[in-house]
């Protein structure tokens, strides 16, 4: 199950029609995977889903919160509005640091 649904992402993107729904879902999937990888933990939509997963220690699963959801939406927005790796005449930067700042407090096992 997706952590962010298409209607929520479309509201964030200010998209009214359904012409790009499949593309938006692709961006949601990529943004969620990126966020979960950054967090280094599994994220669930609710407590029941997390309990059903019954992850063994030392796993540190979590239920999605507003900060994680906002970070995913920021990544979706970035992917949606920057569809190419480079743009001529535009300053190019890595993924938005704001999404990392939202995720950082929930990250575990940061490593090297």
How much is the pLDDT for 87? 60
For residue 78, how many other CB atoms are within 10 A of its CB?
A: 17
How much is the pLDDT for 94? 54
How much is the pLDDT for 95? 53
What dotted CATH number matches 6-106? 1.10.3230
Q: What is the percent of the chain where pLDDT is above 70?
A: 88
How much is the pLDDT for 110? 72
Q: What is the pTM of this model?
A: 0.87
* Stretch among 24-33, 36-45, 70-79, 81-90 having the lowest mean pLDDT: 81-90
- Whether the per-residue pLDDT at 38 is higher than 90: the answer is yes
Q: Which two tokens stand for residue 46?
A: 């609710």
How much is the pLDDT for 91? 52
Mean pLDDT on 61-87: 92
For residue 71, how many other CB atoms are within 10 A of its CB?
A: 25
How much is the pLDDT for 9? 98
Rounded mean pLDDT of the chain? 90
d(CA 3, CA 109): 22
- Cα radius of gyration rounded to whole Å, the chain: 15
d(CA 77, CA 83): 10
Question: Which residues on neighbouring strands pair with residue 63, listed in sequence order?
Answer: 44
């Amino acid at each position: 199950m997706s952590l962010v649904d298409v209607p929520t992402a479309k509201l964030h993107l200010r998209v009214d029609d359904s012409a790009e729904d499949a593309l938006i879902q692709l961006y949601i999937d990529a943004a969620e995977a990126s966020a979960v990888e950054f967090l280094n933990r599994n994220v669930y939509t609710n407590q029941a889903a997390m309990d059903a997963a019954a992850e063994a220690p030392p796993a540190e699963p979590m239920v999605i919160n507003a900060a994680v959801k906002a970070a995913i939406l920021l990544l979706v927005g970035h992917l949606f509005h920057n569809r190419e790796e480079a743009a001529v005449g535009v300053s190019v930067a890595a993924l938005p640091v704001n999404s990392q700042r939202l995720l950082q407090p929930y990250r575990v096992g940061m490593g090297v």
